[in-house]
Amino acid sequence: MKIGCVREIKPQEFRVGMTPGAATEAVANGHEVLIEAGAGMGSGFADADYVDAGAQILPDAAAVFAEADMIVKVKEPQAVERAMLRPGQILFTYLHLAPDPEQTKDLIKSGATCIAYETVTDRNGGLPLLAPMSEVAGKLAPQVGAYTLQKANGGRGVLMGGVPGVAPAKVVVIGGGVVGTHAARVAAGMGADVTVLDRSLPRLRQLDDMFGKTFRTAYSSRATTAELVSQADMVIGAVLIPGAAAPKLVTRDMLKTMKPGAVIVDVAIDQGGCCETSHATTHQDPIYEVDGVMHYCVANMPGAVARTSTLALGNATLPFMLALANKGWKQACYEDPHLLAGLNVHAGHITCPPVGEALGMPFITAHEALSV
């Protein structure tokens, strides 16, 4: 198979879909690897590194799309990239289709087979290709939130850990999954007063057993959420429903009760955000204000630490990429129901029910797509 990787063109996105190490593995498995010139520069990989791995360097994205049987990326394809997809071509990347009808329509129109990292599952019910970036985004959230809290950036001017005689910042983390757990650990490590909200009592017990008094936990009822949000200096949105749009757990009315200069870091923005006033921003212009509350809603947070993120993502995606290349998408998905769960669009059909339901568009199941 010809496996192609292009330079990411989303604003301030420095990650790359394939590392030279992944290229080496693909070539060793008998495949051709086609890399757009300069694709790895943002993550610290020179074209020469890919050449040494046995890959070919092509001059631009159009050349890669034209030759490759499978395109491996990081972020969802932008409009100019979607126009280059063709029937039968495999696209393997993050898609986040639930809040994005335009992308979904373009992928349907392309006829390509689109497998989304974020809905691939594992035997434990986890999301193995989303987890590495969730870990990165979770660890980044208190860091960027602390920066936003500084007075010069529009925040309250509160130090995360306080000082002797002055209380630390109050941080509320909504969601106790991978993002929330890592965010809570880092925020607590910075000395903040942290509470994690979740609706799963088993998960809350697990967090309590694992972390003890490092941070508090609370059941995420509407009343409790409203109370804690009103007291918070920082709210970190870490909610995920696989494949579906994020629920709006922080309402506009709740926002009006927050302290002037408080901060919301909405990590769930990839799936539409869990705050009613959230909209996607970029690393170039990350912060905006609504009702006196500062919002940080960058949709590709891990891109800020591109090298770490690229290496972590590459470790996770490599076995799946090789399975798709070695067996073809249909056989690979037939043999692995967890990879099949990643199939979001195929041959003009939405194949992920949560996406179809979120967008109000017709869909078939991934199992049905195996016979299309």
Tell me which residues are annotated as active site: 96, 270
Q: How far apart are CA 150 and CA 135, in angstroms?
A: 24
Q: How far apart are CA 18 and CA 322, in angstroms?
A: 12
From 367, 324, 311, select the one nearest 3 (Cα to Cα).
324
Cα 369 from chain centre: 25
Q: How far apart are CA 49 and CA 63, in angstroms?
A: 20
Q: Provide CB contacts within 8 A for 310, sequence distance 6+.
A: 15, 16, 19, 40, 43, 45, 74
Burial letters 308-342, b for 16+ CB under 10 A, else e: bbbbbbbebbbebbbbbbebbbbebbeebebbbbb
Q: Percentage helix, strand, coil, to 5, in the chain?
A: 40, 20, 40
Q: Are 288 and 148 in contact (CB under 8 A)?
A: no
How far CA 219 is from CA of 89, 206, 222, in Å, comes to 45, 13, 9
Q: Is 2 exposed, middle or buried (0-12, 13-18, 19+ CB in 10 A)?
A: middle
* Phi, psi values for residue 193, rounded to 5°: -90, 105
From 221, 222, 239, 218, select the one nearest 170 (Cα to Cα).
218
Structure tokens at 142: 């208190």
Strand runs labelled E in the chain: 2-5, 32-36, 56-58, 70-72, 90-93, 113-116, 170-174, 193-198, 216-219, 234-237, 263-266, 287-290, 293-296, 343-346, 349-350
- The SS3 call for residue 280 is coil
Residue type, 233: D
